[in-house]
């Protein structure tokens, strides 16, 4: 079976029980990560989740050692998840405490917690490696994630926790939105901003600890950051943005897991991250709202309009035009002949432009507070931005001043 066949089979969950399990688990994880990450992104605290994810490592180590000391199998996933949740919770509280109690800024607190907890975790891992008891193999897999030989119980744990996190996102969406956009106002409506902030980060924590097994603790933060950044390209509204972020996260998790099932030797975490990045690149280029192509097109159109307008005004004032781009635009639109003399069409258009310019100049004098003046970009015809009554008034004043009959 070729790679492609296998990939397509796996995509429709036909490639065996285990890979279907992993794919669904990774999809749910991405869903929860994208949704929770959207709020953290809007609150501008994306990298706090990096501190949280690195801070899981000591918990994994201690949980393993405790479980072995109690005579159990050190690799029991729920136990490791609880341990990692406790230690990353401590890490999160440390970030909060350092930021509130000392003069250090949040980024310094993040960097400190991230590196120190990770260092401590590595120390514990080296201790575990020397332990005679316990089946120590496999803890390093939490660094980069590994789905090979995942157990049904582990997949179920991940699926349940992912569903829980998604439910929490749904329940807390209103206070979290409010806090993300306007913490001061949220506080006046009686919301405890600090608690909501902690809840937000708690969600990131849940996603992180359940993602350890699949994506690994170094890259899990990508599932919280890349989907919301990508979703931001497609909408300016909170509700849709969360939905899109969750969908992108879910798709990235699902496709990435399927892909790595088809190419068995490749680690799952990096592939999921790169799939998510693919969504980002596509959005950054092709989104009609803020994408690179759309922006470039808008810029190009605007530039043409400015040159056309300035060229027409110059024609009306009988000034020579030197700018090559302006000349080219005027020539292409048939406003001037190749020798630079205005055609009939050009004369009409230039008179209209000059008339429009004069009306705008008068509008600025007699209606200085009108909202259209504020919004005027120097190009739009006055008919598109003001009412007929206003334009009649402007024309009347112009006629009065030039002495011609109204």
Binding site for other proteins (CB under 8 A): 41, 44-47, 49-50, 97-98, 101-105, 107-108, 110-112, 114-123, 125-127, 130, 140, 143-144, 218-219, 221-222, 225-226, 228-229, 232-233, 265-267, 269-271, 273-274, 277, 280, 284, 290, 292
Q: Smallest distance from the beta carbon of 49 to other proteins, in angstroms?
A: 8
- Closer Cβ to other proteins, 201 or 398, answer by number: 201
The first and second tokens of residue 310, run together, are: 């300035």
- How far, in Å, CA of 51 to CA of 110, rounded? 5
- Closer Cβ to other proteins, 23 or 98, answer by number: 98
- Closer Cβ to other proteins, 177 or 350, answer by number: 177
Indicate the Cα dihedral angle 97, 172, 252, 78, nearest 10°. Answer: 70
Q: Smallest distance from the beta carbon of 128 to other proteins, in angstroms?
A: 10
Q: Smallest distance from the beta carbon of 229 to other proteins, in angstroms?
A: 5
Q: Smallest distance from the beta carbon of 102 to other proteins, in angstroms?
A: 5
The answer to whether the beta carbons of residues 257 and 147 sit under 8 Å apart is: yes
- Of 153, 313, 145, the residue nearest 219 (C-alpha): 145
- Closer Cβ to other proteins, 15 or 220, answer by number: 220
- Closer Cβ to other proteins, 13 or 294, answer by number: 294
b/e map 5-16, b = 16+ CB within 10 Å? ebbebbbeeebe
- Closer Cβ to other proteins, 50 or 154, answer by number: 50
- Closer Cβ to other proteins, 120 or 164, answer by number: 120
The answer to whether the beta carbons of residues 124 and 61 sit under 8 Å apart is: yes
Q: Smallest distance from the beta carbon of 98 to other proteins, in angstroms?
A: 6
Q: Smallest distance from the beta carbon of 149 to other proteins, in angstroms?
A: 17
- Closer Cβ to other proteins, 111 or 381, answer by number: 111
Q: Smallest distance from the beta carbon of 204 to other proteins, in angstroms?
A: 12
The answer to whether the beta carbons of residues 221 and 34 sit under 8 Å apart is: no
- How far, in Å, CA of 47 to CA of 121, rounded? 20
- How far, in Å, CA of 246 to CA of 233, rounded? 14
Q: Smallest distance from the beta carbon of 156 to other proteins, in angstroms?
A: 27
Helix axis angle for 268-286 and 17-42, nearest 10°, is: 50
Separation of first and last alpha carbons in the chain: 85
SS3 352: helix
Q: Which residues pair with 342 in a beta bridge?
A: 336
User: Which residues contact residue 262 at a Cβ distance below 8 angstroms, ignoring those fewer than 6 apart?
Assistant: 3, 6, 7, 10, 15
- Closer Cβ to other proteins, 206 or 219, answer by number: 219
Phi-psi region of 149 (alpha: psi -120 to 50; beta: other; left: phi over 0): left
Q: Smallest distance from the beta carbon of 263 to other proteins, in angstroms?
A: 9
SS3 221: helix
- Among positive and negative, which fits the CA dihedral 238, 243, 246, 252? negative
- How far, in Å, CA of 197 to CA of 263, rounded? 40
- How far, in Å, CA of 243 to CA of 34, rounded? 8
- Closer Cβ to other proteins, 229 or 385, answer by number: 229
Q: Smallest distance from the beta carbon of 224 to other proteins, in angstroms?
A: 8
């Amino acid at each position: 079976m070729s790679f492609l066949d296998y990939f397509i089979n796996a995509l429709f969950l036909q490639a065996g029980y285990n890979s279907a399990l992993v794919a669904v688990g990774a999809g749910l994880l991405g869903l929860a990560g994208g949704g929770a990450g959207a709020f953290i992104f809007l609150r501008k605290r994306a990298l706090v989740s990096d501190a949280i994810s690195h801070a899981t490592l000591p918990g994994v180590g201690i949980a393993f050692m405790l479980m072995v000391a109690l005579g159990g199998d050190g690799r029991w996933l729920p136990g490791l998840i609880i341990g990692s949740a406790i230690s990353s919770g401590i890490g999160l509280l440390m970030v909060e405490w350092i930021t509130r109690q000392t003069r250090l800024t949040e980024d310094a607190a993040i960097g400190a917690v991230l590196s120190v907890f990770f260092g401590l975790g590595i120390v514990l891992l080296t201790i575990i490696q020397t332990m005679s008891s316990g089946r120590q193999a496999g803890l390093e897999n939490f660094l980069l994630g590994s789905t090979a030989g995942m157990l049904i119980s582990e997949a179920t744990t991940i699926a349940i926790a992912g569903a829980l996190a998604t439910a929490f996102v749904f329940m807390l969406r209103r206070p979290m939105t409010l806090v993300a956009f306007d913490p001061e106002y949220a506080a006046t409506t009686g919301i405890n901003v600090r608690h909501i902030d902690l809840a937000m980060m708690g969600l990131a924590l849940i996603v992180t600890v359940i993602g350890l097994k699949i994506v690994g603790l170094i890259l899990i933060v990508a599932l919280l950051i890349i989907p919301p950044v990508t979703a931001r390209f497609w909408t300016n509204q909170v509700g849709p943005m969360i939905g899109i972020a969750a969908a992108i996260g879910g798709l990235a998790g699902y496709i990435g897991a399927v892909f790595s099932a088809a190419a068995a030797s490749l680690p799952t975490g990096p592939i999921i991250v790169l799939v998510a990045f693919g969504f980002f690149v596509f959005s950054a280029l092709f989104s009609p709202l803020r994408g690179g192509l759309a922006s470039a097109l808008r810029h190009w159109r605007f530039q043409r309009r400015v040159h056309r307008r300035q060229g027409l005004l110059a024609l009306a004032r009988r000034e020579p035009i030197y700018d090559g781009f302006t000349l080219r635009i005027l020539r292409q639109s048939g406003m001037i002949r190749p020798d630079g003399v205005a055609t009939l069409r050009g004369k009409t258009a230039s008179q209209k432009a000059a008339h429009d310019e004069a009306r705008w100049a008068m509008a600025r004098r007699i209606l200085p507070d009108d909202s259209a003046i504020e919004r005027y970009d120097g190009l739009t015809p006055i008919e598109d931005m003001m009412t007929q009554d206003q334009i009649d008034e402007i024309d009347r004043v112009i006629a009065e001043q030039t002495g011609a009959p109204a």
